[in-house]
Structure 1
Amino acid sequence: MPRRSLSATYRLQLRGPDADPHGRSFTFADAKAIVPYLNELGVSHLYLSPILTAPPSSNHNYDVIDPTEVNPALGGREGFEELAQAAHEEGLGIIIDIVPNHLGIDTPKDNPWWWDVLTYGEESRFNSYFDIDWSPGNGADGKLGIPVLGSPDDINAITIVPIDEDNAPAHVEGSGEPCRFLLDYYGNYFPVRPGTEGDDPLDVLSKQRYALRYWRDGVIGYRRFFSVNGLAGIRQEDPVVFEHTHRVLRKLIAAGFIDGVRVDHPDGLADPFGYLSRLRCVVGDHRLLLIEKILGNAEPLDPRLDVDGTTGYDALRELDGIFINRAAEKSLGAIAQERSESTWDSDSYESAIVALKRDVATNELAAEVRRLARAIRHDNWSTIGRDVTDEELTLTVTDVIAHMPVYRADYLSLSRLTSTVIRKMAHDNPERSAALDLMTAGLMSYGEAWTRFAQVCGAVMAKGVEDTAFYRACRLVALQEVGGSPGLFGVSAAEFHLLQSERANLWPRSMTTLTTHDTKRGEDTRARIIELTEIPDDYREFLSGLATRAPAPDPATSLFLIQNIIGVWPSSGRIDSQLIDRLHEYATKAVREAGLHTEWTDVNEEFETSIHEWIDSLFTEETAEFITSFVQKIASSGHIVSLSRKLLQLLAPGIPDIYQGTEFPEDSLVDPDNRRFVDYHLRRAALAEIREAVELGAHVSSPEGPSVDDIPLLPDSQARKIAVTAVALAVRRERPYSFIGASYVPVFAQGPAAHHAIGFARGSRHTDVDVVVLVTRKPLELERSGGWKDTTLSLPAGRWSDRFTGERYSGDIALADLFHQHPYTVLVRDTPSLPDESPR
């Protein structure tokens, strides 16, 4: 069957059986089994997590250890081809996720390229593949420093063992003589280069081209993915590396199995622009090419990049923001001030992240900053700054990085940002002028220093903001998503429409999303948390009552955690052991990431125990009933927000992605919680029930026919969400010309409650609009103010059908009538005029 026009993607998280303690898996074969269901749901493309070989225990596969083969744990090349063929037979395309920035090295013997470098050092033919610091001043006397020892004394725990079938490392054909002995550090093996064997482990270790170091020493001889020691950066700027790491991709594209590519973390690369230009040549102009580019607020995507757009975090921020009641900003800020000594408004948040980023650059990423400082000195062609000490330069570089407001600033659209930051710092800190001059001279060479500055800025931003600040800010945690900002409280209707129009005109094939494998909270969890902005006074009263019933060991931590707990708490009040376990696991991760009272590397057991005891106290009968009664105040309105936002996402400009399982309500928190297995049997049955109850094809249902409320066996929330998803996808599939490369026209209601409606019209640029979308926002405030009253909507000329109810309208409609069954609608013109051309 010919592949359908690009309209919507469905993200699948693949994993082998060794990645799950119960031996469950989701492989190519499992994905193949749900292809008919996904076709029925209405998507056009499957969007797969990384497919190249990762450790069998990986539950995400971003830690690729062999980029030259398709992951055997997922079914290998044969399994992937069978999946692709099955998808193509159904008319669906395949998009794969690639990881060009790094490779997994956590278990050195499993990565043949890394093992070869450890064995032969600079003589290895893979030496140039990795971004390794062999300089004499690298802290390891010019050797490759590996931060693996648990304590300084652990050096004495290393032993020598012969290679056998249980510990045999991967070996690359054509490399030098393979090792016969290994250095064994508690079951983690390192090579003994042939000719350096001996009986004394420390003597043998001293002869290797690597140095095993205590992890707290900060001696790390390679660029990492952020601060993850087990992920080593690779040099895609080298054409040999690019060709070798993309060989499988080339073959799969040439064979016709791949229809699009998503690029993980391009900001980590030395030259994202050059890399993406080469990748576009591999992918071809007609295949989708998306990048996981995290854009700051008001940061544009560089128009020079030869890509179709981002993976959608920018859209997520906009779609969440339009449903936030901005009038509650001060009230929630005051609550946060009482409990965390910060309002977390834009000013206080910016101050906090500068301090956090400075701390990250000084500690977790100190090795990368020191290497950058050495590069600045090396690249300085002038006599400027010769009297500046290493300490002064490092401190100055750290402060500049801490003040950079974006991930990396070497994109054309941000070309003046670095100079602006340096100029302000020079004005505020005249004593730093010599160090700033030296830094500027080094960066202006546009050599290694310029590249490393861009790479380190992104890593510091990610660790300081996403991995730390987002676990401390507690005004409204729904704001704390990748690309978001706790300091920016919502989006106005005008801003929302302008941003959608920009995407429609500049990046019509950019992805939009509401949930990903990296979101801190799933879409339905955030929707309920957003509804706290509708009842700030009730929320304050609830917090006071909760503090009386279940006093917390730390006010700021409890304020952060309770919002997440509200987001996932069952409105029925029925708590199971699985939810309790999930909340304990989440709390452990949250408090360690925040790093205020405990850390991953310095666990405060007393504090963590107190937090877990507090969480357990929430499940006592009286307290649980108190929480349930509060959650019930916002459960229904949270569901309305979720459905309305879903409908906007599915029909707004861009290519909507549906993260696995989110066609049903889902209550996920941060990974690994958001990577749980999905029950597709239930979803398949639900879709079948809906298709019996509501016609989702080219014809609408009769107004007298059954509605989603009548579907048996399904909870109302599940039925409604999968119906919203299927209806929207059906409209996109029927009228592709109305969405990609199409017009975007804001729709405004008239009347006293007009601000509670948000919507738009879509249509081909060659014809009139033929789809109108309108949804409800701030539903509790709408109810308190007496409903829609005489608020109306003026439709464009023609007869329009509601795809949820089958009712037909024209002219002016009372919103009380339009929304009498559902708080959202999709209206389609009965007889659309087809344009002369369709989107590619």
Structure 2
Amino acid sequence: MSTHSTPTAAAPTSTYRLQLSPGFTLEDAAGLLDHLDRLGVGAVYLSPILTAAPGSQHGYDVVDPTGVAPVLGGDAARAALAAKAHESGLGVVVDIVPNHMSVARPDANAWWWDLLEHGRDSAYARCFDVDFDAGPVLVPVLADDGDGGASALGDLTVVDGCLAYHDKRYPLAAGTHSSGDPVAQVHERQHYRLVSWRRGDAELTYRRFFDVDELAAVRVEEPGVFDATHAEILRWAELGQLDGLRVDHVDGLSDPGGYLRRLAERFGGWVVVEKILAPGEDLPRSWPVAGTTGYDALREVCGLFVDPSGEPAFTDLAREQGVEVDVEALDERARHHAATDLLRAEVRRIAALLPTRNGEGGDTDPGGAVRRREQSVAALLCSFDVYRSYLPEGEADWARAMDTAARRRPDLAPDLEALDRLVREDPTGEAARRIQQTSGMVVAMGTENTAFYRGTRFAALNEVGGDLSRFAVGPREFHARAALREAATPHTMTALSTHDTKRSEDVRARLAALSETPQAFTGAVRRWTERCPLPEPALNLLGWQTLVGAWPIGEERLAAYLLKAAREARLGTSWTHRDPDFEEEVRSWPGRVLGDPALGEEVASAVDSVRDAGWSNSLGQKAVQLMGPGVPDVYQGTELWDLSLVDPDNRRPVDHGARADLLARVEGGWLPPVDTTGAAKLHLVRTCLRLRRELRPTGYVPLTASGPAASHAVAFARVSQGADHPDVVAVATRLPLGLAGAGGWRDTVLALPSGPGEWTDRLTGRVVAPVRTDGYTCAPLAGLLDRYPVAVLVRR
């Protein structure tokens, strides 16, 4: 039985994620509903649709939570889409962003404009997490060439009753401006100050989303703020036009559990939260949600297809090339940078809440006590082995983090002990809340956004929700986690690709194949590096893996990806301190590699050696995800091969017309080969999604193969709605190169669940010819998997 309270009836059988933008609107999405229905999708799953900042391509930068974005078609288009979806039997799931709003263009955000105009007296002052006691609201937008933004102040003007800085406009408080007043004096009279963009990380007086100054945190823990920001969303539900919600960045909220309970009181549909779970971690049981958006499942499913025996060769290469392989040390340094540099403003705000000990702050140590408190806060934030603790339920997570901080920084023991006492005495107090909010930011920015671009030993591991210290996931761990998912959160979302993944599922599948040929690939990288290296070792390893994983890829796409990776890693350049020479070398690298015929031929040959194995892995992980416990999501376009990289690459327009043409052929009975078209994957996706919608399988029973190639098969059984015994089976091939090298399946067999009736493979339409082995009814895998490396069996 689920430990969460979302009713079974509210969960869709599957979802299909669509990224809306000015170039792909709600009307365009409605035009795809027939295609999605034929594909077998249970619910259309939309990116945020509330009014976002001008020019937004993704919708996460909301400026007005009270209406649907006109650029997406407005409320009429939303209602029309919902009606058409429901007529087709499809649910409607929408992504919402309760944590923050965009303040990049104050004139586009009426709430933020009013706050800047009226300060703490604004009717919207309580909507944002602003420290008004610290003085005027700092707005870090001024150019800074090393003078602290002083010269940029000369660019301020007054235009149409507003303070203007180039194309940006800011309000003027009543009575603060008269004709002829010096602009500098007018600026000084406001409730805000425009300051250097460099001051945001250390001095900002409002809480942000991560280190993005243009996204101001919203205080949805306040009932009135919750009501104001959710009224429009809840109106859709009251009209019967909304079936599910995906809640973005739940860890950024002051009180995630309280927020979700309030949401559940008002919305009875399916709810999942964007939440990264550490390996083995589960959601707090008090949260009334169906589960997460599926990054935990992503790690487990993808890891199942990685060969653990490849680890030493990749580790040796990384160490030899000068790439960090001590994961704990790498992670600690990256998090420390996040806490002490990128999020210093948040750390300082927490440290200011700590009590002053007797004797601190005297003339003999000016500022020393303040620095130690900040260091203690930073040390704690860097020490969590989960993204955040949820007190009081997460007391054990808190205790482990405190122990780790004390072990790493024994010199800070008194301040850490004081911090521990303060939080334990009041686990709902401001210090506890801000530490919990900020720890997730430190982990995300330190681990995901920095360490994952530095520890590039094997890039298939460097994924949202991943763990660099775990090279692969064995079948036993996979089955245990899948069984737990079915028992505890059977209606959680599962995913393989999302708008936030650093590389698509098919890129990771091809990289997984490299783990089976580690000597050949690492030897090739050594040769290629001698011939055409990237200017920094971690980026160099990432570059070659990315080139092989995403091949064929053009120079422009690859250069854009590598520049982003280099800036995130902050080793040779960064977002805030760019090295033009370094970046030009990175930018020119794809052209130099692809322009060298001999080198390009070698890379193409390496791709050819793992291409088919990559396809096998792609189909295997897709079958496991789509047929396993949870509600599987298909990210737009990934029903065919998709070799996308991190955003914005993975948000490129999708050729839905090409997919519709292939779908029509499959519907006509075509059994596509496994080839470059990707039609075999579309066939698998359609088969699995339609089967889920038809049979609504539950339960989870691991199945065991026996014979010389038993370790290369992974399989499980489930029970269709109304059946008494397991009657649905998914089978996938693991480590296909090793399988081929050992002579194939030979006489390996898979034991099938007992019971009357014959088994049919829904992919091929063939009836399984069973054999009896040791008293069990078994399927010979050599025959079952001769056409596709996967099978989806149903007993009738």
TM-score bin (small chain): over 0.9
Report if aligned partners of 1:300, 1:413 keep a CA contact under 8 Å in 2.
no
2:248 is matched with which residue?
264
2:706 is matched with which residue?
750
Distance verdict in 2 for CA 1:31–1:392, change over 3 Å: same
2:85 is matched with which residue?
87
Report if aligned partners of 2:299, 2:465 keep a CA contact under 8 Å in 1.
yes
Cα offset for 1:813? 2.2
2:381 is matched with which residue?
401
2:778 is matched with which residue?
812
Which amino acid in 2 is paired with 1:756? H
Cα offset for 1:412? 5.2
Which amino acid in 2 is paired with 1:580? E
Structure 2 alignment gaps of length 5 or more: 1-8, 363-367, 771-776
Distance verdict in 2 for CA 1:384–1:129, change over 3 Å: farther
Q: What TM-score, normalized to structure 2?
A: 0.93
Give the match's secondary structure for 2:711. helix
Residue 101 of structure 1: which of 99, 102, 106 is its match? 99
Residue 608 of structure 1: which of 565, 578, 583 is its match? 583
Per-residue CA deviations over 1:347-366 (Å, capped at 9, x if unaligned) read x1111111111111111110
1:313 is matched with which residue?
295
Give the match's secondary structure for 2:515. helix
2:313 is matched with which residue?
331
**Would you say 1:143 and 2:143 are equivalent positions?**
no
Report if aligned partners of 1:473, 1:560 keep a CA contact under 8 Å in 2.
no
1:238 is matched with which residue?
222
**Would you say 1:392 and 2:372 are equivalent positions?**
yes
1:658-673 to structure 2, matched below 5 A, reads: 658-673=634-649
Question: Partners of 2:327 and 2:378 in 1: how far apart?
Answer: 19
Question: Partners of 2:88 and 2:523 in 1: how far apart?
Answer: 54
**Would you say 1:366 and 2:344 are equivalent positions?**
yes
Cα offset for 1:721? 0.6
1:216 is matched with which residue?
198
1:69 is matched with which residue?
67
Give the match's secondary structure for 1:455. helix
Cα offset for 1:817? 1.2
Question: Partners of 1:289 and 1:429 in 2: how far apart?
Answer: 40
Cα offset for 1:161? 2.7
Which amino acid in 1 is paired with 2:791? T
Which amino acid in 1 is paired with 2:472? G
Deviates more, 1:231-240 or 1:405-414: 405-414
**Would you say 1:651 and 2:627 are equivalent positions?**
yes
Report if aligned partners of 2:516, 2:738 keep a CA contact under 8 Å in 1.
yes
Report if aligned partners of 1:553, 1:614 keep a CA contact under 8 Å in 2.
no
Cα offset for 1:756? 0.1
1:484-523 to structure 2, matched below 5 A, reads: 484-523=466-505
Question: Partners of 1:467 and 1:369 in 2: how far apart?
Answer: 19
Residue 290 of structure 1: which of 264, 269, 272 is its match? 272
Question: Partners of 1:789 and 1:110 in 2: how far apart?
Answer: 66
Question: Partners of 1:655 and 1:412 in 2: how far apart?
Answer: 29
Which amino acid in 1 is paired with 2:733? T
Question: Partners of 1:662 and 1:148 in 2: how far apart?
Answer: 39
1:432 is matched with which residue?
412
**Would you say 1:197 and 2:180 are equivalent positions?**
no
Distance verdict in 2 for CA 1:528–1:162, change over 3 Å: same
Residue 421 of structure 1: which of 392, 395, 401 is its match? 401
Report if aligned partners of 2:10, 2:243 keep a CA contact under 8 Å in 1.
no
Distance verdict in 2 for CA 1:323–1:411, change over 3 Å: farther
Give the match's secondary structure for 1:409. coil
Report if aligned partners of 1:512, 1:654 keep a CA contact under 8 Å in 2.
yes
Per-residue CA deviations over 1:172-199 (Å, capped at 9, x if unaligned) read xxxxxxxxx1111121111111100032
Distance verdict in 2 for CA 1:440–1:743, change over 3 Å: same
Which amino acid in 1 is paired with 2:478? F
Residue 559 of structure 2: which of 569, 575, 584 is its match? 584
Per-residue CA deviations over 1:378-421 (Å, capped at 9, x if unaligned) read xx8x9797887111111111111111122111255531222233
**Would you say 1:410 and 2:390 are equivalent positions?**
yes
Per-residue CA deviations over 1:614-654 (Å, capped at 9, x if unaligned) read 32111121111111011100011001000111011000000
Question: Partners of 1:300 and 1:385 in 2: how far apart?
Answer: 41
1:555 is matched with which residue?
537
1:834 is matched with which residue?
none
Question: Partners of 2:462 and 2:151 in 1: how far apart?
Answer: 39
Deviates more, 1:437-446 or 1:671-680: 437-446
2:692 is matched with which residue?
732
How many equivalent pairs are there? 762
Give the match's secondary structure for 1:363. helix
Per-residue CA deviations over 1:209-257 (Å, capped at 9, x if unaligned) read 1111112233211000000000000101100000000010111111111
Which amino acid in 2 is paired with 1:6? P
Which amino acid in 2 is paired with 1:708? P
Question: Partners of 1:424 and 1:282 in 2: how far apart?
Answer: 40
Question: Partners of 1:328 and 1:715 in 2: how far apart?
Answer: 26
Which amino acid in 2 is paired with 1:232? A
Structure 1 alignment gaps of length 5 or more: 17-24, 164-180, 695-706, 831-840
1:15 is matched with which residue?
21
Question: Partners of 2:406 and 2:549 in 1: how far apart?
Answer: 45
Question: Partners of 2:628 and 2:413 in 1: how far apart?
Answer: 49
2:154 is matched with which residue?
157
Give the match's secondary structure for 2:687. helix
Distance verdict in 2 for CA 1:153–1:498, change over 3 Å: same
Distance verdict in 2 for CA 1:802–1:376, change over 3 Å: same
Cα offset for 1:438? 2.3
Which amino acid in 1 is paired with 2:672? V
Cα RMSD (Å): 1.8
Cα offset for 1:376? 2.6
Question: Partners of 1:716 and 1:569 in 2: how far apart?
Answer: 12
User: Aligned residues: percent identity?
Assistant: 40
Question: Partners of 1:541 and 1:459 in 2: how far apart?
Answer: 38
Question: Partners of 1:186 and 1:361 in 2: how far apart?
Answer: 32
Per-residue CA deviations over 1:252-286 (Å, capped at 9, x if unaligned) read 111111000110001001000000000011211xx
Q: What TM-score, normalized to structure 1?
A: 0.88
Residue 758 of structure 2: which of 799, 823, 836 is its match? 799
Question: Partners of 1:265 and 1:301 in 2: how far apart?
Answer: 14
Report if aligned partners of 1:263, 1:291 keep a CA contact under 8 Å in 2.
yes
Cα offset for 1:159? 3.0
Per-residue CA deviations over 1:673-727 (Å, capped at 9, x if unaligned) read 0000011111111100001125xxxxxxxxxxxx223xxxx95542101000001
Report if aligned partners of 1:289, 1:308 keep a CA contact under 8 Å in 2.
yes
Question: Partners of 1:672 and 1:366 in 2: how far apart?
Answer: 28
Per-residue CA deviations over 1:642-674 (Å, capped at 9, x if unaligned) read 011101100000000000000010110000000
Which amino acid in 1 is paired with 2:171? P
Per-residue CA deviations over 1:760-782 (Å, capped at 9, x if unaligned) read 00005861001011110100000
Cα offset for 1:4? 10
Which amino acid in 2 is paired with 1:778? L
Per-residue CA deviations over 1:503-525 (Å, capped at 9, x if unaligned) read 00100000000100000001111
Which amino acid in 2 is paired with 1:690? V
1:375 is matched with which residue?
353
**Would you say 1:596 and 2:558 are equivalent positions?**
no
1:453 is matched with which residue?
435
1:718 is matched with which residue?
678
Per-residue CA deviations over 1:498-556 (Å, capped at 9, x if unaligned) read 00000001000000001000000011111111111000011022112212432443333
Question: Partners of 2:602 and 2:380 in 1: how far apart?
Answer: 48
1:57 is matched with which residue?
55
Question: Partners of 1:220 and 1:194 in 2: how far apart?
Answer: 25
1:37-48 to structure 2, matched below 5 A, reads: 37-48=35-46
Residue 737 of structure 2: which of 780, 792, 814 is its match? 780
Distance verdict in 2 for CA 1:249–1:43, change over 3 Å: same
Question: Partners of 1:413 and 1:443 in 2: how far apart?
Answer: 14
Question: Partners of 2:570 and 2:411 in 1: how far apart?
Answer: 32
* Larger relative contact order (CA 8 Å, sep ≥ 6): 2
1:528-539 to structure 2, matched below 5 A, reads: 528-539=510-521
